[in-house]
Structure 1
Amino acid sequence: MLGTEDASPLTFWAAVNSEDGSYLQLDDVVVTQRELADHGRVTIAGVVTAVRARHEGASFDSDVFAIADGMLPARVQEAAEVTVTRVEPEVYVPPLPGAVAYRAEGEARDSALSFDRMQRRLPMGTGRDGQPVFLNADFLDGSRGAHVSISGISGVATKTSFATFLLYSVFKSGVFGGDAINTKALIFNVKGEDLLFLDHPNTRLDERTRAAYHRLGLEAGPFPQVSVYAPARAGDRTGSPDVASRLTGVDPFYWTLSEFCSDRLLPYVFADADDERQQYTMVVHSVTAQLARNAVDKDGGISIDGTPIHSYEQLVDYLVEQLNDDATRGGWAGSAVGLGTINAFARRLINSKRDLARLIRGDLPAKQQHRISTADGAQVTVVDLHNLPDRAQRFVVGVTLKTEFERKEKAGSAKPLLFVVLDELNKYAPRDGSSPIKDVLLDIAERGRSLGVVLIGAQQTASEVERRIVANSAIRVVGRLDPAEASRPEYGFLPPAQRQRALLAKPGTMFVAQPEIPVPLAIEFPFPAWATRPGEAGPAPRATLASMISATDPLTVVKGKDDGIPF
């Protein structure tokens, strides 16, 4: 221990004898000890959070040249700042100057990082020393905490890749025991068709990557049970899914006009965060109630007071007509609502026709598979949104989360678990304003733990996400950050050196903070063993044959049933 720097029970400096080749780098785990008369030997362990090197004996900056030429006597001295992670027994005294410190390995490393206290250790990557780093599963599945917040620059921070790797570890590590079989994941795909091939092996997988998985106790491979949903093509009377690269094993999703009315989905048409501050939301709720009360399912469409309606466009036109008619306006919007408020509602409703007409249909059959659900046999459900405009994306996310959360509420049990992976969280739950989607996400963040719903939210800027959602995330993960974003108080859990390193982090490097360890751990997670884009997709495994049969014969539903096809 250095004698020239103050040591405290929480931080201390260790000298490094670089002349014999010794060194300490950031993230190394260091252990030292101190003998106390009444407590015996106290072990103090921590993680290196800063390293420095300087000349001892130099007075001026220019002395470095004289020292290098041998004209001035001086010595190069390295030192490392260590932030304490564990004291055993818990007697908080500083280490003494001159005490010997060493790099921890094996059991000493596990103890320093509290891995030995984790009853369920979920592998999430390797540390700088190449050894596995674990996440306490109790803070992921709701036992003691839940939810994950992942932040970083789009395209560089590999947020979605880490989220899917974390799911793969949940399903394949054996840490969750038999519960992993019934655990489900709902993933919203918002960028290209990259996540539509999770059940295909990655053709770029090599032996080095397989060895990285083996070090973590995992077998490298694709997700075995994946169900893919894509929006029905606009104007297609067969309801075929709108995808380009994946030709089989994709189910279309849409909502019938009857479902739109009876399930009270109109508020999700107005899902912009600023909408709740507008007075026309009173009209939204009044019209929603009227549709639920008066719409009758008829001939694939609906009938309202004897008027047949067979498309979303016709429904919008009918509602606008009723609101513009003096005789019917009060019944639909309420007598206390002014004409300006009604016009504001009507303008936004008319603007939604272009975006939502392909999702709310009266020309397609109410097939069993047309609505997104995680209740079928698939372990992972991917919902493709990348072909949809922003308003339609918000509608699908809001309605799907509402439906799944209500299903879990009715079940009344935290098991089986449901993991929800949602990118661009700052768009759906922004810091300011409110919306139906934000209300659902807040409900998941605050009550989802007790119902077995775990949110894995990813965003470029955590500073723009609703505070209560970030605050309820037991696990916080940071990849490559923008310099301005890194200075925000939301990243106060990162030591200064890690904040600076987050500006340089390469893809695959993440800083993970979890409650039991006071210092975020820098990890690297393996290259995905599943295809992350169409060009990487190997041959589909037999597990997808069931959905291929279903796509061939829409009347035959075989997903999740015991039909002799291995899952």
Structure 2
Amino acid sequence: FWAPPRPGDRNAAPWTERRHPGVGSFFWTIHEFCRDDLLQFLFADVSDERQQYPMVVHAVMAQLRKARKLDDGAVVIEGKTIHVFDELVRFIADRLEDEETKDFWGGRAIGQGTLNAFIRRLYGAVPHLKNLIRSDVPNPAAHAIARQKQVTVVDIHNLNQRAQRFVVGVVLYRMFQTKEEAGTRLPLEFIVLDEMNKYAPREGSSPIKEILLDVAERGRSLGMILLGAEQTASEVERRIVANAAIRVVGRLDSAEAGRDEYGFLPVVQRQRATIMKPGTMIVSQPELPVPMVVEFPFPSWATRADEAPPPTVRGGTDSDPFEGMAPED
């Protein structure tokens, strides 16, 4: 279990309310932000293709890649040592506002209005992301999201939408990069993502949407399986919905049930979907020629911490609660 750092906590303690044991906090160092081109995920909201500031994003990322790493994860750029995110934002803004350096950092033939729009958005990200991009905490490697366990949960519910998009984008980006570099399908990785319309909406473009499209279209060959949940499939990018092999439909609004995305359901089942009770679902999958109605059972596992037995500890580390559930190869 991973949670964002609590705001204002100098030790980056996890931001949780009830559960504390077994929860680690996550953030990315300034060097990781510069080296891995994570700046693009600060602008992961769906953008109008007529806007030009994405050109500035790529120009700035090219300059940030030249940053020299320090031992604590901080960087040195053009002789300036940077430890925290707001210092980096001020440094970039200064370079884009300086007449001598703005063409080098922002790109030639870019108007001042476009540069100002980029700078405003960059400053707007500081309050929400300064706890997630930092190099002022000892041992930053302990705060990198690790995926050694069978199930990894990244909690983002305390973050605002911009920070949520950043975290989702970076996690997906790194998973996809790792799979591409490995060159093997196994072990399979399953991505469970709620509210798909926030990250891959039907209209516009964004870095997260492009990654999700890659996962939907090429993920099976790479060993990445996307499990997406959304109340209205009609608001999700068409190519992602079209590439779904298995589709599960719960209760639908009558207007939503009439959308083309539900064309795989016979008319009778579309009508039934508007009056189904909670726990009843219609499943469409390749092994059967027609969708079937199923009853989803009441969860047989604890959904709250006070319902679960005390965790067992072996070798000084928390045991994997899902160990032994997967069949051996």
TM-score normalised over the length of structure 2: 0.93
Confirm or deny that 1:259 pairs with 2:32: yes
Q: Percent identity?
A: 57
Match of 1:288 in 2: 61
Question: What SS class does the counterpart of residue 368 from structure 1 fall into?
Answer: helix
What amino acid sits opposite 2:310 in the alignment?
Answer: A
1:527 deviates by 1.2
Residue 162 of structure 2: which of 376, 385, 391 is its match? 391
Change (3 A) 1:276 1:242: farther
Match of 2:91 in 1: 318
Match of 2:297 in 1: 526
Render the CA deviation track for 1:437-470: whole Å, top value 9, x for unaligned: 0011000001100011000000011101111111
What amino acid sits opposite 2:66 in the alignment?
Answer: R
Match of 1:308 in 2: 81
1:384 deviates by 0.3
Given that 1:232 and 1:239 are in contact with CA atoms closer than 8 Å, whether structure 2 keeps it comes out as yes
Render the CA deviation track for 1:327-366: whole Å, top value 9, x for unaligned: 1111101122111110111111110001111100121134
Alignment of 1:326-337 (within 5 A): 326-337=99-110
Confirm or deny that 1:450 pairs with 2:221: yes
Given that 2:73 and 2:140 are in contact with CA atoms closer than 8 Å, whether structure 1 keeps it comes out as no
Question: What SS class does the counterpart of residue 507 from structure 1 fall into?
Answer: coil
Choose 287-296 or 243-252, whichever is displaced more.
287-296
Confirm or deny that 1:357 pairs with 2:130: yes
Match of 2:310 in 1: 540
> Following the alignment from structure 2 to structure 1, what is the Cα–Cα distance between the partners of residues 23 and 314?
11
Residue 243 of structure 1: which of 4, 11, 16 is its match? 16
Render the CA deviation track for 1:399-434: whole Å, top value 9, x for unaligned: 001101111111111111111000000110011111
Residue 490 of structure 1: which of 253, 261, 267 is its match? 261
Given that 1:419 and 1:456 are in contact with CA atoms closer than 8 Å, whether structure 2 keeps it comes out as yes
Change (3 A) 1:506 1:250: same
Change (3 A) 1:361 1:495: same
Cα RMSD over matched residues?
2.0
Given that 1:511 and 1:523 are in contact with CA atoms closer than 8 Å, whether structure 2 keeps it comes out as yes
Match of 1:512 in 2: 283
Question: What SS class does the counterpart of residue 477 from structure 1 fall into?
Answer: strand
Question: What SS class does the counterpart of residue 192 from structure 2 fall into?
Answer: strand
Larger Rg: 1
Change (3 A) 1:401 1:300: closer
Match of 1:271 in 2: 44
Change (3 A) 1:530 1:428: same
Match of 2:186 in 1: 415
Alignment of 1:418-497 (within 5 A): 418-497=189-268
What amino acid sits opposite 2:89 in the alignment?
Answer: V
- Higher helix proportion: 2
Question: What SS class does the counterpart of residue 431 from structure 1 fall into?
Answer: coil
> Following the alignment from structure 2 to structure 1, what is the Cα–Cα distance between the partners of residues 139 and 77?
19
> Following the alignment from structure 1 to structure 2, what is the Cα–Cα distance between the partners of residues 417 and 504?
36
Residue 172 of structure 2: which of 394, 401, 413 is its match? 401
What amino acid sits opposite 2:91 in the alignment?
Answer: Y
> Following the alignment from structure 2 to structure 1, what is the Cα–Cα distance between the partners of residues 129 and 59?
20
Q: Which has the higher contact order (CA 8 A, sep 6+)?
A: 1
What amino acid sits opposite 1:387 in the alignment?
Answer: N
Alignment of 1:26-425 (within 5 A): 228-274=1-47, 277-297=50-70, 299-374=72-147, 376=148, 378-425=149-196
> Following the alignment from structure 1 to structure 2, what is the Cα–Cα distance between the partners of residues 277 and 463?
24
> Following the alignment from structure 2 to structure 1, what is the Cα–Cα distance between the partners of residues 5 and 183?
33
Render the CA deviation track for 1:238-290: whole Å, top value 9, x for unaligned: 12111111110011110011111111100000001115542000000010110
Given that 2:72 and 2:138 are in contact with CA atoms closer than 8 Å, whether structure 1 keeps it comes out as no
Question: What SS class does the counterpart of residue 117 from structure 2 fall into?
Answer: helix
> Following the alignment from structure 2 to structure 1, what is the Cα–Cα distance between the partners of residues 103 and 291?
58
> Following the alignment from structure 2 to structure 1, what is the Cα–Cα distance between the partners of residues 51 and 71?
34
What amino acid sits opposite 1:454 in the alignment?
Answer: I
1:516 deviates by 3.0
Render the CA deviation track for 1:8-57: whole Å, top value 9, x for unaligned: xxxxxxxxxxxxxxxxxxxxxxxxxxxxxxxxxxxxxxxxxxxxxxxxxx
Change (3 A) 1:546 1:364: farther
Stretches of structure 1 that go unaligned for 5 or more consecutive residues are: 1-227, 551-557
What amino acid sits opposite 2:101 in the alignment?
Answer: T
Given that 1:256 and 1:364 are in contact with CA atoms closer than 8 Å, whether structure 2 keeps it comes out as no
1:486 deviates by 1.0
Stretches of structure 2 that go unaligned for 5 or more consecutive residues are: none
Match of 1:503 in 2: 274
